Amino acid sequence: MSVRIYKKDDIVFAKHISMDDFKEGLAFFSDDNDFLQVGTWNYPAGKELLAHNHNIVERNVNRTQEVLFIRKGRILAEIYNEDDKKIDSFEAQEGDIVILLNGGHGYKILEDNTQVLEIKNGPYLGPEKDRRRI
């Protein structure tokens, strides 16, 4: 399986990465201009990644983007455009990664005890400023 990209009118709303999409070495699934940079590592034992420090660089972030890692179970991800119209949906299962870049989204839990790790950029300004319900 290859990375599935959900887009409309050249706007990428989401990317779905399955466990099968992990390649050897370092692979990034995000574009350089995405607010969240998402990549995978796949190295043999003994590989050494050189120590480094990240420089302080001012960045302008105007959108919250999210990454989900499905640790256990399954979810249905529903993807919406900027006008709150549903454009697609897909299932993500254990080991999959979902990158949410634009528009809106909602989820349905499909299995008991589903566990999802969510990562998003901050700071979090509270529900009144950071989101609106569809």
Whole-angstrom distance, CA of residue 22 vs CA of residue 84: 32
* pLDDT score for 1: 55
* pLDDT score for 104: 95
pLDDT band at 131 (very low <50, low <70, confident <90, very high): confident
Question: What is the residue whose two structure tokens read 């990209």?
Answer: 5
Give tens-digit pLDDT for 45-91. 999 999 999 999 998 888 899 999 999 999 999 999 999 999 999 99
Question: What is the residue whose two structure tokens read 């043999």?
Answer: 44
Q: Which domains does the chain have, with CATH numbers?
A: 4-130 (2.60.120)
